[in-house]
């Protein structure tokens, strides 16, 4: 369902777009917010922008996602770095980042296994 939701958002976009899905305590979607609309190769993402709407809506959990216009859904070094920063920021704020999904072409990549590793640290 998540992939379908995000794929519908990006069907007409050609740039790199970053969104946050707001989830309630039962992990039901209560909102979707576009954080950044970037170029063909990059999207600027600041943790304050990701969490601003989550804080204002008082949500306990979020999912983040972005697309790779190239069609390659493998995470870049920058993707891994921003995921780490957002998970850490979420911990400080009491908002769980449940996953970071990268959509490219017909595929998707879930960064959730990386999040599991981060939580063991």
CATH number at residue 9: 3.40.140.10
16 vs 56, more confident: 56
Measured between alpha carbons, how far apart are the two ends of the chain, in Å? 30
Whether the Cβ atoms of residue 72 and residue 36 lie closer than 8 Å to each other: no
**pLDDT of the residue at 59:** 97
Residue 96: give the domain boundaries: 2-120
Whether the Cβ atoms of residue 99 and residue 63 lie closer than 8 Å to each other: yes
Taking residues 31-37, what's their average pLDDT? 89
**pLDDT of the residue at 13:** 59
> Residue written as tokens 């369902």?
1
User: pTM (2 decimals)?
Assistant: 0.80
pLDDT at 4 over 80: no
Domain count, the chain: 1
pLDDT at 83 over 80: yes
Whether the Cβ atoms of residue 86 and residue 120 lie closer than 8 Å to each other: no
């Amino acid at each position: 369902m998540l992939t379908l939701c995000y794929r519908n958002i990006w069907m007409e976009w050609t740039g790199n777009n970053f969104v946050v899905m707001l989830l309630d305590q039962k992990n039901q979607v209560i909102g979707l917010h576009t954080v950044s609309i970037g170029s063909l190769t990059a999207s600027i993402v600041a943790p304050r922008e990701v969490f601003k709407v989550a804080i204002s809506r008082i949500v306990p959990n979020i999912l983040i996602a972005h697309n790779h216009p190239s069609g390659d859904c493998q995470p870049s070094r920058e993707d891994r770095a921003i995921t780490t920063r957002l998970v850490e920021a979420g911990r400080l704020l009491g908002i769980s980042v449940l996953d970071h999904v990268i959509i490219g072409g017909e595929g998707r990549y879930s960064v959730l296994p990386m999040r599991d590793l981060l939580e063991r640290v």
